[in-house]
Amino acid sequence: MNSIKISNAGTADQWRITVDNQTRLVAEDWDEVHAFMVRQLLPLPEVEISDMTAYELKQALVDAGEGEE
């Protein structure tokens, strides 16, 4: 089971999600945090890269360890 931590930097526009002590998302609004968490908790069907949104592609690269900052 993953350890997931969601924190706020004291302002409404700075959210950080850490999974197993590794920063996975720095977001500017709660909607972005919610979308990330839904993606983490609910399995997504396999899609072709051409069918992915830019956000989904970035997350796929991060999941593969290739798009980390």
Angle of CA points 60, 61, 65, to nearest 5°: 115
The Cα–Cα gap between 50 and 65 comes to 20
pLDDT for residue 45: 61
Looking at the domain assignment, is residue 48 inside a domain? yes
Looking at the domain assignment, is residue 68 inside a domain? no
Looking at the domain assignment, is residue 51 inside a domain? yes
The Cα–Cα gap between 37 and 31 comes to 10
Q: What is the per-residue pLDDT across 42-65, written as a single tens digit (0 to 9) for each? A: 765 665 666 667 787 788 778 877
pLDDT for residue 37: 82
What whole-number percentage of the chain has pLDDT above 70?
Answer: 72
Looking at the domain assignment, is residue 24 inside a domain? yes
Position 6 pLDDT exceeds 60: yes
* Count: domains in the chain: 1
In contact, 37 and 17? CB cutoff 8 Å = yes
Computed over every residue of the chain, the mean pLDDT equals 76
Looking at the domain assignment, is residue 44 inside a domain? yes
pLDDT for residue 67: 47
